[in-house]
Structure 1
């Protein structure tokens, strides 16, 4: 494992996750339930949704185990709430929810694009799409799906984080954490399952390269 891979796979995500779990209770005075909520949502999404999409449509393949991919997803997702901690900590409002949605959408799109680009360059990730098969290069291959996919995920994570903060911190109702997780993870998994199905059709940006009429790959 070279230094770039060490930083991408272990150093940076471990540092982000450590800061995440220390910052909210120690600086913002939340219970441990809030950082758990923020980290568990993307981890479960990666495990349930991305893992399923990989098995069904073979959109991507990694040289690292899926639980590690989910850890990366969760740790890099915590970056948005950390950067936007002032917005999250403001009293709950519709404008605050919209602001969180747009800002986390942007942060998620940029972060996801950078991570996948580096992962492809380091041969940790392979994208099995029609776009990738044209040989357009790593950046164009990733951008073909990343801004829509990661951006859309961020658009959901923003309001989810704000709502989680409202219930778990402002109201102090930590007993609802698992209900909040369930009510959150089910709809976004369903929505993104539809996204994967749509984008994996023969004309979609994530469609796997199909064999030609002679049957050759």
Structure 2
């Protein structure tokens, strides 16, 4: 377990808290540990709840401290980014849904992972941006996460301008699912998690599986996959139980 990543099992819910409180950033090693937790979450849990120790959700990616400077050659440097790109893949590939709770600033890597959550609830005080180009850094790491979550115009406006947007616009752009008054956020998170976990496990996993796979198929493949998954899930014993 990473010292700046808090992981707690709470019944069928796995709580993951970003806990780098000195700057609310996420280091490469934190991202790698996050990936490992996500890819095994289905063995103990039906959902993951992701939030930050705050006050900001995430102020962006930071390099791990150490004596070795960043590689100067591009080919050698590519491996340094595996923790970040791997975390994007893990969020997409996790078998259980990831629920994000967004408060404060959500910047760069934070905006990327907020968009990759399967459901995300944002405080009405949260703000979002993609600041990389303002530091003369291409924001393609973030763009590889949001390219199928947001419209092209929204991505490029945020990437070029680096301006912060409020939570309502983030919802309109497809970054978050819902915006909740700050004082009611925790109650809404609890309500939604309770509601989600009241659903049968095959349906919880099946919904995410279909939306992970179907967009990569042609129309007939997506229809046929829906027919197959519909039959498998709806005939499972767990779907027959009365709640």
Normalised TM-score (structure 1): 0.31
If each structure's helix is expressed as a fraction of its own residues, which one has the higher value? 1
Larger RCO (alpha carbons 8 Å, 6+ apart): 1
Greater share of residues in strand: 2
